[in-house]
Structure 1
Amino acid sequence: MGCCSLSARQAGSAGIGQDEVELLRTGRTRIWSSSEGQSEASLHPKDPAILAETEDTEALWGRTREELANLLITQPISGWEGMHIHSLGEIIWSSLVFLRSYCMEEMRECYVVLFSFHLLILSVDRTKKALVYEGLLPLAGMRLREIVSAISHTFEISGSMIEPRLVCCQNSADFDTWVQRLRHQIQMANAHCPVSPSNNISFLVPCDEEWKKRELMRHLLCNTVLEWEGKPIQHLGRIQYLTTVQAARGCMGDSEERLLVLFPDDLLFLSVDKDRTAITYEGKLPLIGIQVKEKSAVLGRLQFEITGSLTEPILITCSTAEDYEKCLFCLQKPEKVLDPLALQPPPIIPKKSWRHQ
Structure 2
Amino acid sequence: MGCCSISARRAALAGTCQDEMELLEIGGSRKWSISEAQSEGSLRLRDPVTATETATETGGAEVLWGRTREELRNFLFTQPITGWEGRSIHSLGEIVWSSLVLMRSCHMEEMSERYIVLFPFQLLILSVDHMKKAFIYQGLLPLAGMNVRDVPSDTGCMFEMMGPMTESRIISCLSPAEFHIWVLSIQQHIKMANAHWPAHASNIISFLVPCDEQWKKRKLMKHLFYTTILKWEGKPIQHLGRIHYLAMVQVAYASMGDFKERMLVLFPEDLVFLSVDRERTGIAYEGKLPLAGIQAKEKSAVLGRLEFEITGSLTEPILVACSTAEDYEKCLFYLQKPEQILDTVTVQPPPMVPKKSLRH
TM-score range, shorter chain: 0.5 to 0.7
Q: 1:104: how far off? A: 1.6
Q: How far apart, in 1, do the equivalents of 2:115 and 2:123 lie?
A: 11
- Contact in 2 for aligned 1:292/1:307 (Cα 8 Å): no
Gapped regions of structure 2 (runs ≥ 5): 1-59, 199-203, 338-349
Q: Partners of 2:241 and 2:207 in 1: how far apart?
A: 25
Distance in 1 (alpha carbons) for counterparts of 2:267 and 2:245: 7
Say whether residues 1:105 and 2:109 are aligned partners: yes
Alignment partners' CA distance in 2, 1:307 and 1:159: 33
Residue equivalent to 1:260 = 264
Partners of 2:167 and 2:255 in 1: how far apart? Answer: 46
Q: 1:125 to 1:302 in 2, by over 3 A?
A: farther
Aligned to 1:154: 158
Given that residues 260 and 267 in structure 1 are in contact (C-alpha distance below 8 angstroms), is that contact kept between their aligned partners in structure 2? Answer: yes
Q: Find the partner of 2:144 among 116, 140, 144.
A: 140
**1:212 maps to 2:216:** no
| Counterpart residue type for residue 101 of structure 1 | S
**1:70 aligned residue (54, 63, 74):** 74
Indicate which of 164, 168, 189 corresponds to 2:168.
Answer: 164
Q: Output the CA distance in 1 between the equivalents of 2:241 and 2:121.
A: 34
Distance 1:146 1:349 in 2: 39
State the aligned residue count.
277
Partners of 2:352 and 2:158 in 1: how far apart? 55
Q: TM-score, normalised by structure 1?
A: 0.59
Change (3 A) 1:329 1:280: closer
User: Separation in 2 of the partners of 1:273 and 1:77?
Assistant: 32
| Matching of residue 306 in structure 1 with residue 309 in structure 2 | yes
RMSD over aligned Cα, in angstroms? 4.6
2:84 is the alignment partner of 1:80: yes
Q: Distance between the aligned counterparts of 1:128 and 1:188, measured in 2?
A: 36
Match of 1:38 in 2: none
The letter for the 1-side match of 2:193 is A
Partner of residue 284, structure 2: 278
Whether 1:317 and 2:322 are equivalent positions in the alignment is yes
Task: State the shift of 1:315 in Å.
Answer: 5.8
- Cα shift at 1:160: 2.0
Contact 2:311/2:317, CA 8 A, preserved across alignment: yes
* Of 177, 194, 208, the match for 2:181: 177
Instruction: Tell me how far 1:316 sits from its aligned partner.
Output: 1.2
The alpha-carbon distance between structure 1 residues 107 and 250, as it changes in their structure 2 partners (threshold 3 A), is closer
How far apart are residue 146 of structure 1 and its match? 3.0
For structure 1, the 5+ residue unaligned runs are 1-55, 195-199, 334-346
* Inter-CA distance 270–67: structure 2 relative to 1 (3 Å threshold): closer
The structure with the greater share of residues assigned to strand is 2
Q: Distance in 1 between matches of 2:320 and 2:187?
A: 49
Separation in structure 2 between the aligned mates of residue 191 and residue 72 of structure 1, nearest angstrom = 28
Deviation at 1:192, TM superposition (A): 1.8
Q: Using the aligned pairs only, state the percent identity.
A: 51
Q: How much does 1:132 deviate? A: 1.0
Amino acid across the alignment from 1:60: L
Aligned partners of 1:180, 1:269: CA distance in 2, in Å? 37
CA distance in 1: counterparts of 2:99 and 2:352, whole angstroms:
57
**1:97–1:223 CA distance, 2 compared to 1 (3 A):** same
The one-letter code of the counterpart of 1:306 is E
C-alpha separation in 2, matches of 1:238 and 1:205: 20
Higher relative contact order (CA 8 A, sep 6+): 1
- Mark the CA change 1:217 to 1:126 in structure 2 (over 3 Å): closer, same or farther: closer
Q: How far apart are 1:307 and its partner, in Å?
A: 8.0
Q: Identify if the C-alpha distance between structure 1 residues 269 and 135 changes in structure 2 by more than 3 Å, giving closer, same or farther.
A: closer
Task: Quote how far apart the aligned CAs of 1:236 are.
Answer: 9.7
Q: Structure 1 CA distance, aligned partners of 2:320 and 2:249?
A: 10
**C-alpha contact 1:57 1:174 (8 A) present in aligned 2:** no
Residue type at the aligned position of 1:279 = Y
Give the Cα separation in 1 of the matches to 2:118 and 2:318.
50
Change (3 A) 1:256 1:58: same
TM superposition shift of 1:157: 2.1
Write out per-residue CA displacement over residues 295-321 of structure 1, whole angstroms, 9 at most, x where no aligned residue.
33x4xx472443879977946122x55
Aligned to 2:201: none
